């Protein structure tokens, strides 16, 4: 007589075997990458790194205190972060790691619903333990108070558990519904935050949000297993479970995580890129090829723009006067990254199978670069409005930043075009010195706004140069 083990024991056995296999893979990978001597050195340097990190964090105690004072009066922002995180992750992750192993197990005399509950509880218990560990680390290395960290921990864990069902259900929906949910949630939280900013009943707002999430869970509880595409969920979760970074690096086998399929995927890739090339309109051909090129290198583009934003914003946390340095470096980085994309464009084989002119390529490429630069300039303008003391100089400073970026892009692009066309035309030294002067002028422009008047001189020089060519 065969003994049928319970569904929970069967689930735990699968989890145990999976963990055992992962440990075996990690052991093999570590055995290849490290030996005892390297591990000893790594341990020593890790201890030294922790000591250096601790001494460094001591210099930011006032910054941590400011964060605590602000969030102590706006606890609802922690809930908003967890909610928006779950909604954002619903584009690519169902939130419950129900894999192919559990699916195969459900074909035996085990209920799929119970296995799903086990997966949900197990995953979020692990997540809660990770959050507790991070909270302990923050308590040791920062000046956050115990009461503040405990409150944030309680809100994070509670909200995370209440977002299990909403994230699972949103994953089943189309990208349009997810975008609508994100917009509506942002609008609702903004309204509540604005209204309750005039009141002192913060506990009422936090309690209202938690109760609302609890009611949403009750309303949608019975819809968890309705119209579920288990095959898609299983494929996604298998990628997430076995996407181990260290193992991938050592084995040189890349398991790509599931990609988001939002507005860019459904509108740009599926619709715009499938349209026939407008052969009769040559300008649109250049724009279409650039759209294809940027869509293929979307990840590199996002990383580059993200790095520029970090360089632009990070110095403000140290001192508002350092914004000029961050802005100057950001302008140079944006110009350098933009030009590197222009060079990479001519490595595509499709380009050489079509008739083209370098001037047309330059015009089309600059149009895309100026659009991206305008978005970054808008962010810089918002930061400048927040930290500036003289609003009279604001438009002049913003114009100055734009013209310096334009001059830098033009010079670097000119150099790369000379390399492509093999003209070997030397850039005048006076132009390089002029850009160096503008670089330091951007740094000085925040503390001395009249320096921004150099933008007028720059515009006059560019207009004069164009007139001489014509």
Which residues touch 459 (CB under 8 Å, ≥6 apart)? 403
Q: Which long-range contacts (CB under 8 A, 24 or more apart) does 168-176 make?
A: 168/94, 168/95, 168/96, 168/224, 169/220, 169/223, 169/224, 170/87, 170/90, 171/90, 171/91, 171/93, 171/94, 171/95, 171/233, 172/227, 172/228, 172/229, 175/91, 175/261, 175/262, 175/263, 175/265, 175/266
The pLDDT, as a whole number, for residue 237 is: 87
What pLDDT digit, counting tens, does each position of 74-109 carry?
788 888 888 888 888 888 888 888 888 888 888 888
DSSP string, 67-85: HHHHHHT-THHHHHHHHHH
Cα four-point dihedral sign 107, 113, 116, 122: negative
State how far the Cα of 119 lies from the Cα of 130, in Å rounded to an integer.
17
Which of the residues in the chain have pLDDT under 70? 1-4, 193-201, 252-284, 317-321, 347-356, 388-391, 422-432, 434, 447, 449, 452, 454-470
CA distance 246 to 241: 13
* 405 three-state secondary structure: helix
d(CA 42, CA 77): 38
Burial of 124 (0-12, 13-18, 19+ CB in 10 A): middle
How many CB atoms within 10 Å of residue 402? 18
The domains of the chain are located at 7-242, 276-469
CA-CA-CA-CA torsion sign (145, 71, 330, 338): positive
Question: Taking Cα atoms as reference points, which of 306, 333, 315, 309 lies closest to residue 387?
Answer: 315
Phi-psi region of 422 (alpha: psi -120 to 50; beta: other; left: phi over 0): left
**Distance in angstroms (rounded) separating the CA atoms of residues 29 and 43:** 18
């Amino acid at each position: 007589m065969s003994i049928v083990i319970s569904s929970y024991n069967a689930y735990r056995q699968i989890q145990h075997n999976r963990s055992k296999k992962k440990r075996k893979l990690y052991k093999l990978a570590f055995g290849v990458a490290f030996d005892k001597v390297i591990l000893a050195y790594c341990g020593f340097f890790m201890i030294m790194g922790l000591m250096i990190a601790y001494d460094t964090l001591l210099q930011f105690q006032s910054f941590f205190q400011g964060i605590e004072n602000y969030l102590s009066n706006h606890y609802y922002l922690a809930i908003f972060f967890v909610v928006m995180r779950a909604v954002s992750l619903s584009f690519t992750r169902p939130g419950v790691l129900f894999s192919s192993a559990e699916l195969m197990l459900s074909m035996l005399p085990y209920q799929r619903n119970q296995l799903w509950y086990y997966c949900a509880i197990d995953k979020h218990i692990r997540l809660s333990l990770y959050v507790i560990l991070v909270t302990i680390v923050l308590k040791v290395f920062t000046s956050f108070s115990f009461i503040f960290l405990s409150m944030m921990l309680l809100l994070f864990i509670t909200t995370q558990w209440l977002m299990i069902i909403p994230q699972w259900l949103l994953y089943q929906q189309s990208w349009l519904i997810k975008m609508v949910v994100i917009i509506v949630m942002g609008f609702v939280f903004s309204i509540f935050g604005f209204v309750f900013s005039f009141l002192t009943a913060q506990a009422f707002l936090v309690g209202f949000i938690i109760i609302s999430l609890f009611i949403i869970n009750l309303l949608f509880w019975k819809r968890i297993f309705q119209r579920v595409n288990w095959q898609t969920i299983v494929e996604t979760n298998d990628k997430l479970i076995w996407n181990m970074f260290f193992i991938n690096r050592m084995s040189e086998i890349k398991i790509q995580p599931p990609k988001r399929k939002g507005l860019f995927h459904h509108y740009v890739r599926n619709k715009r890129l499938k349209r026939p090339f407008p052969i009769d309109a040559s300008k649109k051909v250049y724009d279409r090829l650039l759209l294809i090129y940027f869509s293929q290198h979307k990840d590199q583009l996002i990383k580059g723009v993200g790095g520029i934003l970090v360089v632009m914003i990070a110095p403000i946390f140290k001192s508002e006067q350092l914004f000029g340095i961050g802005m100057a470096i950001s302008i140079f980085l944006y110009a350098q990254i933009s030009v590197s994309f222009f060079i990479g464009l001519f490595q595509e084989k499709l380009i050489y199978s079509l008739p083209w002119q370098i001037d047309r390529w330059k015009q089309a490429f600059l149009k895309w670069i100026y659009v991206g630069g305008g978005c970054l300039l808008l962010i810089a303008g918002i930061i400048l409005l927040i930290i500036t003391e003289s609003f009279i100089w604001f438009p002049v400073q913003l114009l100055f930043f734009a013209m310096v970026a334009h001059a830098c892009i033009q010079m670097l692009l000119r150099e790369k075009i000379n390399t492509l066309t093999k003209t070997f035309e030397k850039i005048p030294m006076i132009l390089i010195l002029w850009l160096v002067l503008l670089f330091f002028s951007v740094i000085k422009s925040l503390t001395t706004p009249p320096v921004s008047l150099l933008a007028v001189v720059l515009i006059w020089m560019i207009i004069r140069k164009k007139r001489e060519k014509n």
